Structure 1
């Protein structure tokens, strides 16, 4: 699927999500409906009526001094704004290809609900031309800078109904999206999605393909399992990981520690080859989700390499 400006908006899910975003932005732009929107924002509503839905739109947008629409235009915009508000009461449509990729990436990386929502908003802020256009107008331009891919934290705060301070915490270097190289701090309180993130969203939606894009292909073991007979805890680690793979259990951790060059990476590769981890992982992606009880159980083991 080609993801470019405007491409995701054709899907019912993306139209629904656009209406929800637009409602939040315009609601705050008009101070919760107590004032008229700026002319540029009102024109966005008219220009995107096919995406918003509904039939009643003003034929002419008249501006008062200060750049906001007059009372007659404001009244004529009421049905369009009501249509945006209705998106919060509608049943959520089946996810689009873009949303499936976002969800699969979030599940693979264990993103929190806020990080997942931020990832989706940033993705759509550059992949959806209508949303980018609206963001630019909210930020003060007339929508002429659609090629700009940075988004102000203040606008993201409006889109996600989340305090700016909390969002600043989610875009710092130690936060997951920044740590995985998915976003870049553009300075001046602006962030943007990286090429790495957008290329992942263009790829296959299954977990194995995403894992390969994020981590690269699994390396082949250069040593045999028998070469690690001397490793303390080797058999315990094998038994633990084997059971975890068989039961699709989550929360299983193995700590490998030793000096540089002791063979920690080769031990992990040899263990993976012995247990057929790559094959089991592919099988797991096609199987049912493990039970909550299994997901809650966590075990750990360690092995010392000298």
Structure 2
């Protein structure tokens, strides 16, 4: 395995009876990067991640995660991997400090529970029983349990589902802090703005295959797509034109309208636009 790769996958296949969930998938995730895995329900995204985590057996292919095959690992390997599922569990009668302290005992070189609680923004809730936490605070607790073992690689499964906009932005800052500290992060999400804000690269899965891997701003050749320029006409209508040189078109319009172009907008395809095209959305 390349020492620069945290994850290396070649020819990964998994089927359930006659249903092929993953069909010859290749994937490489570099150490220290944030990698977002995108795909509709049933595309093979969850199966792929569960195989990487060591929770599901594959039918064929080569898989290396932190230098080991996740299907045949030692406990020492698992202590290097953090996993934040959509729901870790219920600990209603325990406090935040008690839960994090309990999980710290599972790892040979656990982080300081008090520091981790502060890091995820729950310092003021350390003595609160978990059933009193809001949905966003419970998600922060899930992350605390995922990082208490100082993981080299962190899997985040739909981490901000159910968050309000402010809580999502705060959570993004936590993920950026983890990445800045050198943690490799594999993120699955249905929020395209989240992938664009956090990921160094994104991979799109459709039909059990990896369609494309690229930085968010280059996926589907977004950077080369025609820009759509729209403006309001003197008659009150809206005129639209596609252009490879939108700056020149805007300059022409400014001359035509004597400086200020009414209702001017310039847009290029969004990550959502190219994603929907890749997965065959109609």
Q: TM-score range by the shorter chain?
A: under 0.3
Structure with more helix by fraction: 1
Q: Which has the higher contact order (CA 8 A, sep 6+)?
A: 2
TM-score (norm 1): 0.26
TM-score (norm 2): 0.27
Structure with more strand by fraction: 2
